[in-house]
Amino acid sequence: MFWWLVDYHCQVNLKEASPYIKAGVLDNKGGLYKEGRDAGCPYQGVLVVANGSTLADRLVEDHVIHDEPDEFVAVPARDHFFNYLNRQSTEDGAYIFDGSNQRITTVGELNNNPRNFPRDFLTYSRIPRDFVSAGGQLPLSMIGTKTRLAIKLPCAYDNTEAFQIKRSRYGTLGMGKVTHFTKDGLEREFLFDYKPDSSGSFIDPKQGIVGLLRTYQRDGAGTLYRASEEIVDSKALKDY
């Protein structure tokens, strides 16, 4: 799921944003964008909560989902998943992915306080200091409802993971990230960066844009830290 979303971000979202990128900055408003905000973002965000075949029922039972989810749709391969996302036209709600049967559904409003959620949970300990802004100057409290859900749901339900395509602008380029959360917090993320002099593989050679993969681990004290960062080979995306 993570690499499917990365590829969608590269093939669909970057293509939509490309006409508005000038000298390494996404700006379709005629002025400077604000990092950490999603105003003027030219593509949709995505939240996918993934587990086995029972997750949707459990979320209904625990009143995380207020309405019955839509019918599941089979997405056995990447193209099916892309076609499914392209048919969606709303920023509300999220997607539930049944990994056991390779199928997906949409859900409406989600409750940000799952029943199984530990009371002593520290939300911001699940993300790095520079999650909202590249320099770490913006407060982590700026994360939105969907990111909070992506952090919380894997901790509330066993064997559950959450994936996002974020709209919130990040770094000098100003596009959002693709994130992957487990019960331990942020595990990895993909983001675009403007590096016209890079010797690595470009996602968009004309725009000088590369893709960075960052992975995260916890040290002996339990503090989340960035374990690695590397430029993603765009050709390798087809192998996932």
| For the chain, domain boundaries | 2-12+44-186
Was domain 2-12+44-186 assigned CATH 3.40.640.10?
A: no
Which one, of 137, 132, 139, 161, lies nearest residue 149 by Cα?
161
102 Cα distance to chain centroid:
19
pTM, to two decimals:
0.92
Q: 85-118: string of b/e by CB count within 10 Å (b at 16+)? A: beeeeeeebbbbbbeeeebbbbbeebeeebeebe
pLDDT tens for the chain, 240 residues long, are 999 999 999 999 999 999 989 889 987 565 667 899 988 888 989 999 998 777 777 777 776 776 777 888 999 999 999 999 998 866 666 899 988 889 998 887 776 777 667 778 899 999 999 999 999 999 999 999 899 999 998 988 888 999 999 999 999 999 999 999 999 999 999 999 999 999 889 999 999 999 999 999 999 998 999 999 999 988 777 666
Cα separations in angstroms, 52 against 60, 104, 116, 175: 15, 11, 18, 31
